[in-house]
Amino acid sequence: MTNKRKSIDELRDLGDALDESILGASDAEVSEELASLGVDPGKVAGEMDAIAEEAKRLAGKPRLARAKDAVSAFRSKPPNAIPGDRTGLRSRLQTMRPGRSGGNDGLMMAARKGKGISASDEEGAVDDLAQLEALESEDPEASRE
């Protein structure tokens, strides 16, 4: 090992030892050390808290931007359901609704307190059925489970 490399490693080891010494010190030891240097420990604690809060705020901005981009990307994707025959899906949905033959009384009515579903809820249910059919066509074994 060259002398330069050895010196760099020694400096790194010294820095690590200083870090461990500071991190391993109790609050009382740190306060005593700061007071012996003529520094107000309360002021230092306040400054360190402010630095930590600013770091959190600055770190949060990129995370928020990434989350907003992910939401935009998700919303811009077309639904993975195959358009197919929506009329057939609607009739299938009607057979699942309460009061129809087939023993499905109460299906989709728990959140409606006995009232009919809204147009947007019906569209969502038709989309769900389309996605289900698409998944079943991809993996016919899954529908048997």
pLDDT above 70: percentage of residues in the chain? 75
Question: Which among 56-60, 88-92, 96-100, 128-132 has the top mean pLDDT?
Answer: 56-60
d(CA 96, CA 67): 37
pTM of the model: 0.38
Query: What are the distances in angstroms from CA 43 to CA 20, 57, 65?
Result: 23, 21, 34
Give which of 85, 73, 90 is closest to 134, Cα–Cα. Answer: 85
**Confidence at residue 71, expressed as pLDDT on a 0 to 100 scale:** 92
**Confidence at residue 124, expressed as pLDDT on a 0 to 100 scale:** 81
User: How does 36-66 read in b/e, with b if 16+ C-beta sit within 10 Å?
Assistant: eeeeeeeeeeeeeeeeeeeeeeeeeeeeeee
Torsion on CA atoms 53, 55, 59, 60, rounded to nearest 10: 10
More confident residue, 129 or 19: 19
**Confidence at residue 118, expressed as pLDDT on a 0 to 100 scale:** 73
**Confidence at residue 105, expressed as pLDDT on a 0 to 100 scale:** 47
Token pair listed for 23: 């991190």
